[in-house]
Structure 1
């Protein structure tokens, strides 16, 4: 692998070797390793005439090696979780006697199905209760207090109905200070999960017509939506069980774990921060990756980037059809409604109509699904 890395470093431009491209670069090296094993040829980097695989892998040994490499490649980057050098992972339990090794993942599973993750849609009385809880927590002396405090304060900083209308920042000093206050509060909102805070910040820049800055933040958020992440009401896979049994995660407070692994809802009420194009959508909770692609579409729409608009809608459609970070028919129905809005903005009436129909089939609630009304206007 070291030799292959040397060769590929020489082949690829320096601009590709960035942290955000780590996984793709790693997988490129891994696929090259498979190629070298298939042809039993891996030239030494400093002495190219020296074949490191020469007369070393052939026949049954070569088939065995390739079989293992094909299996590892099927896992994608997650194959590193099977490495003894990374961690001493627990084996997948084959009987009930090994069940206890998965007690921590099971507790995470219960939390993923609890109401803890939907506090952002809490009613005012419940918010008041949480404020009292925060006050009591602050009076305690627990070493975990900073995580609990950061979690709840992060959620409150994201309550969009607490924000007041923001004027033109070029008017005066006080308005400029208000602008910085928004930014500070939204940055605090990034502390309770891996994605929703950054998407809320992207929404703020979008509303300020800073579309390029919004696109930069959206890209950062999308890169965080990787397969190992957790989301509301999901079922843990074997890979997730293995991941959560890693020493680094087992010893991590749950609030800190959310910040690394949780992909939370986007919750934007009808307020200063809500995009105008979503004002007609009754539900205010959106799957994060769905919202990210739609917000990216809106930015390109206002920048008049036609090709990027279509690309964003295609990615949004693939995301919905693949159930990517989307749990349940209701959220999938909301997602199709959003997709229909995008097609409607571009003038694709038939595509919009089909999206609204799919939304209604999945979420047949005329009171809370505006796709009914939109579809009637198209017919």
Structure 2
């Protein structure tokens, strides 16, 4: 029994009642099972299509809590990259599965490294010694070191070699590069992939009697592993060793959890952030989310708690907490896949271990009262303690309205799109990927995600075709390309978001159909202003969309910002900004939708009706000078830049100069500084 500060013993039934309340609170904060599935499905589709586009060279995998389905404030997005022509093998017999003319093979050598770490030997056959070096990437060649007559890839040299490939503004952080892009924190890591399950983790397969299920275990074994460029701090060859990563396996395991198990993991993460590490210096934050996840894995597999259900949520949490406490006491945290790998060995020992144990033991002695120290949890605990007879409904269907869920879904889709499309070949690979996925079992979330990604791909094809053929002397080819681009944009606008109409307007302006462009702009702008100022209630939304498909609902939602790929040129007026952003390794320009619409309207009126230019310019000026979040949430820098461009093309260089200077003073989301400085110099000349 656990004592609360209310001078009575809390019974088992009372704890179950509190558990139900906390379950509901966590569903609201971390997501219902339906929300979590939706986040995962949309991420999966985007990753599948992205890897289809970049399959000639690279693969990408989003890992960590974001991919697992959490959307916790302050958590970063972990991304792993590896080259598809580089593979790690565990013994020489596995070379038979690869063509040496297509693959760079790397041999794993764990014989002299701590558990969970390895040296990577670069294989160079005697017959093709020269060609193999040529086949290897320059990053590998620059990272080679000799040891005992063999050639190995140094993890520390590899990290240094990969620094230039980090996104500008990102800083090295262990094996990763960390930074902020578009308001989100990212952790990027370049690694090597292995298609084989690691022999050091063979014992994990033998342990899988009750969890995970056999088909999940098979998926995990087929997923292989990765090697991340960081050595063991207490290893003999720290600068040369690589850590074996099970990120894909962990993702599959988290996907296989029931929702109570997932929320127990989430509760541990919240308590770690809001209680254990709260007010603690960075150097004293010894426990991390990975330790919490490991504890949940072990508890599920050991079957210590027979029923993971909402009524047992706090019991499940408490058992996991006790396991972590015992690990800290013993100074041993066994990796779930390679138990011999003690993840506390190099960080939690001596005085730090004692201090951490004292801190955790103090929480243990308080019992579940320690939950009251968590701002996210205490309201749901006190609600039941003060109202013991309160009925708690744990039916997730009643926790979230249809409007709230759909809003979350479409925001998730809007913020996830296929990466790496730079040419027509990439677009066709993406569409072929969509075609193949359509013939596979899909959830409704897969379908709308595919739909949005397809619409985006069609837009990009339209502008690529226009750029390819606009300067040709053969009128028939130009006509065919224009007709095809026009059809693609209409198709994109037909089944995509309302915002896709903006691309139609840009295309009409680019091809000098100014009247058509103005019609599209006015229609889109009216809808944009109406929806931005419409205060939708749950009842209004339910009455309007009850029983309708997600596809039909999608057209109701709007993008606040339009994303333009910097590898595809849309209109000449934004070309310097795209080139400047591309020079800073930025893939996209992010422009508030209404700002772009006003810009296009001004540019069209300059060709059709100059008397309306100043009125539209005043609307744009008011929008940028007094930004409202409903219209401009991101991209204040490009908003001032566009205002400056519009001032300049309408013959007001002094106002343009002021707008450009304001653009330089904003958060550089789009990295357009060079374009801004060039425009300022042109005015001053």
Q: Give the structure-1-normalised TM-score.
A: 0.60
Find the aligned partners of 2:601 and 2:555 in 1 and give their Cα distance: 23
Distance 1:372 1:223, change over 3 A: same
Q: Unaligned 5+ residue runs, structure 2?
A: 1-382, 384-389, 582-587
Deviations 1:162-191 (A, max 9, x none): 434333899544432222111110011113
Distance 1:343 1:298, change over 3 A: same
Q: Quote the residue 2:572 is aligned against.
A: 276
Regions of 4+ moved over 6 Å: 95-99, 125-130, 141-146
Find the aligned partners of 1:367 and 1:229 in 2 and give their Cα distance: 27
1:340 maps to 2:644 = yes
Find the aligned partners of 1:228 and 1:310 in 2 and give their Cα distance: 25
Range that drifts further, 366-375 or 150-159: 366-375
Q: Quote the residue 2:616 is aligned against.
A: 312
1:297 maps to 2:597 = no
Query: Which of 456, 475, 480 is the equivalent residue of 1:155?
Result: 456
CA RMSD of aligned residues (A): 3.9
Find the aligned partners of 1:129 and 1:198 in 2 and give their Cα distance: 21
Query: Which of 208, 214, 218 is the equivalent residue of 2:521?
Result: 218
Are the counterparts in 2 of residues 165 and 272 from structure 1 also a CA contact under 8 Å? no
Deviations 1:211-250 (A, max 9, x none): 11211121111121134359xxxxxx9x334366423325
Are the counterparts in 1 of residues 430 and 457 from structure 2 also a CA contact under 8 Å? no
Are the counterparts in 1 of residues 510 and 571 from structure 2 also a CA contact under 8 Å? yes
Q: Quote the residue 1:263 is aligned against.
A: 559
Give the Å deviation of 1:336. 1.1
SS of the equivalent of 1:279 reads helix
Distance 1:172 1:376, change over 3 A: closer
Give the Å deviation of 1:359. 1.9
Aligned pairs for 1:178-193 within 5 A: 178-193=481-496
More strand per residue = 2
1:242 maps to 2:538 = yes
Aligned pairs for 1:184-203 within 5 A: 184-203=487-506
Q: Quote the residue 1:29 is aligned against.
A: none
Q: Give the structure-2-normalised TM-score.
A: 0.35
Are the counterparts in 2 of residues 340 and 351 from structure 1 also a CA contact under 8 Å? yes
Give the Å deviation of 1:147. 5.0
Distance 1:169 1:176, change over 3 A: farther
Deviations 1:55-112 (A, max 9, x none): xxxxxxxxxxxxxxxxxxxxxxxxxxxxxxxxxxxxxxxx998994644333344345
Find the aligned partners of 2:442 and 2:483 in 1 and give their Cα distance: 33
Find the aligned partners of 1:188 and 1:210 in 2 and give their Cα distance: 19
User: Is the radius of gyration larger for structure 1 or structure 2?
Assistant: 2
Distance 1:107 1:144, change over 3 A: closer
Q: Quote the residue 2:468 is aligned against.
A: 165
Give the Å deviation of 1:140. 3.0
Query: Which of 628, 638, 653 is the equivalent residue of 1:323?
Result: 628
SS of the equivalent of 1:262 reads coil
Q: Quote the residue 2:267 is aligned against.
A: none
Q: Quote the residue 1:205 is aligned against.
A: 508
Find the aligned partners of 1:145 and 1:223 in 2 and give their Cα distance: 30
Give the Å deviation of 1:311. 1.6
SS of the equivalent of 2:438 reads helix
1:375 maps to 2:672 = no
Find the aligned partners of 1:266 and 1:365 in 2 and give their Cα distance: 14
1:353 maps to 2:353 = no
